[in-house]
Amino acid sequence: MRSAAAGLTALLLTLAQPALACTPPRGWPQKAKLDVTLTARTLANAAATIDIVVAERATDDYEVGTDPEANAEAMANYAAYPDGVKLTAAEVSARLKADEFPDGARIHYRVIERLKGASPDTFSLNGMAPPGHPTAAPLGPRETLALLRNRLNSRDLSEWPGFGACIQPLWTGLGHRYVVFRDAQGRLLRQTVAIRFEGERSDVRGPTYAELGGADDVWLKAIRQALAAPAISDKTASSEPR
């Protein structure tokens, strides 16, 4: 019988492909080597807030490509088409929403525990909340690590730069618990972490949005330990996994 984690990973990879329209390297992200302790410390040091939340509801007033940097990149991509027409920032965002994420959602969360900072009781992010999302279940260490790898390069849809981007939307199951790292502006944290893939070091966006599988979740334990430890220097934080 397939585990809940395996089923979720398969669903994420399957659902992501039409929207991403890119070909990730063979073995990505399953073969990425990620040091959970180091990753937790890097993200914990960088975040303004870290919260355990429950995803309560999804509404259709979501945003795609509204972040200024992402919008500028998408605008340049559209302008590069042979028959490209000059689009305004709002038109670019509307086209991204209609063409790439017509089934997106603004996901509303309720904070159930503040690990760092003083978040409001509720907040929202832009992502995907498809029906039939696998039921949450306690996860073992290997399953947690597999899901963390799949959360590398996650982005709020407001940061989506357009067709061909090899990045992950925030796939979400309503009623599920997540640990979310955010910056001082309330945005999903944009912090890179060191990984190794195919023998090479890379810096990619860290797993700043990940589902929790139970009270003994190894990712949550690593975060709590990171918050209890003295702050580490940028040099130490950027050390790569072995």
Q: What pLDDT score was predicted for residue 150?
A: 84
Task: Check whether 136 has a pLDDT greater than 60.
Answer: no
Residue 63 pLDDT more than 60?
Answer: yes
pLDDT in tens, 20-55: 456 777 877 777 888 999 999 999 999 999 999 999
Give the model's confidence band at 132: pLDDT under 50 very low, under 70 low, under 90 confident, else very high. low
- Where does residue 204 rank: exposed (0-12), middle (13-18), buried (19+ CB within 10 A)? middle
- Select the more confidently predicted residue: 145 or 72: 72
3-class secondary structure, 202:
strand
Helix, strand, or coil (residue 157): helix
Sign of CA dihedral 171, 195, 113, 122: negative
Q: What pLDDT does residue 190 have?
A: 94
Structure confidence at residue 156 as a pLDDT band (50, 70, 90)? very high
Tokens of 104: 């997106």
Residue 14 has pLDDT above 80, yes or no: no
Query: Where is pLDDT greater, at 150 or 108?
Result: 108
Q: State residue 239's pLDDT score.
A: 46
pLDDT digits (tens, 9 = 90+) for 75-94: 887 776 656 667 788 988 88
Looking at per-residue confidence, does 46 or 175 come out higher? 46
Burial 108-142 (b: 16+ CB within 10 A, else e): bbebeeebbeebeeebbbbbbbeeebbebeebeee
- The encoded tokens of residue 214 equal 């139970």
Global pTM reads: 0.81
